[in-house]
């Protein structure tokens, strides 16, 4: 199994792919792909960064079981709609079914990366700041 995770921000887009043993298979970076940019710029940032990682692993997109993109900008309904459209275009360009490419807020990605889904808290303090916590019943706060 191969899972690729991307963090697409205003400055750069970063990707890492891992296997089921959490072994890092590749790392790649590309231009910024924050949702403040045009759809074409964002799509180019994502596709270019994904392709760099794929080339580094020597595989095609259909060898990847799941690609997850996280964005800090997912704070408005308009950005969720924009992101959904872009993800659909990227999936089409890569020849992937839509259910193999998903997206969420970067706070959610950070939470699962550090807690592996267990109760806990993730705090991001960069250009902006956000915190996400979850209790053992799955309640957010």
Q: What is the per-residue pLDDT across 43-52, written as a single tens digit (0 to 9) for each?
A: 999 999 999 9
- Encoded tokens for 87: 């993800």
Q: Is the overall model pTM greater than 0.85, yes or no?
A: yes
> What is the distance between the alpha carbons of residues 74 and 97, in angstroms, rounded to a whole number?
23
Dump pLDDT digits (tens) for 111-125. 888 888 889 888 888
Q: Which helix (H) or strand (E) holds 26?
A: strand 24-31
8's CB contacts (< 8 A; 6+ apart) are 32, 33, 34, 42, 45, 46, 49, 69, 70, 71
* CATH no. of 2-105: 3.30.420.40
Domain boundaries, the chain: 2-105
């Amino acid at each position: 199994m191969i899972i690729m995770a991307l963090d697409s921000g205003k400055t750069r887009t970063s990707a890492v792919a891992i296997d089921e043993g959490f072994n890092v298979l590749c790392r790649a970076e590309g231009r910024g792909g924050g949702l403040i940019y045009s759809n074409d710029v964002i799509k180019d940032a994502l596709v270019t960064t994904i392709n760099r990682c794929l080339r580094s692993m020597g595989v095609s997109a259909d060898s990847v079981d799941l690609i997850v993109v996280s964005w800090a900008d997912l704070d408005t309904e308009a950005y969720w709609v924009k992101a959904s459209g872009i993800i659909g275009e990227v999936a089409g360009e890569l020849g992937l079914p839509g259910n193999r490419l998903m997206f969420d807020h970067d706070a959610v990605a950070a939470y699962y990366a550090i807690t592996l889904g267990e109760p806990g808290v993730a705090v991001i303090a960069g250009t902006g700041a956000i915190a996400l916590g979850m209790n053992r019943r799955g309640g957010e706060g």
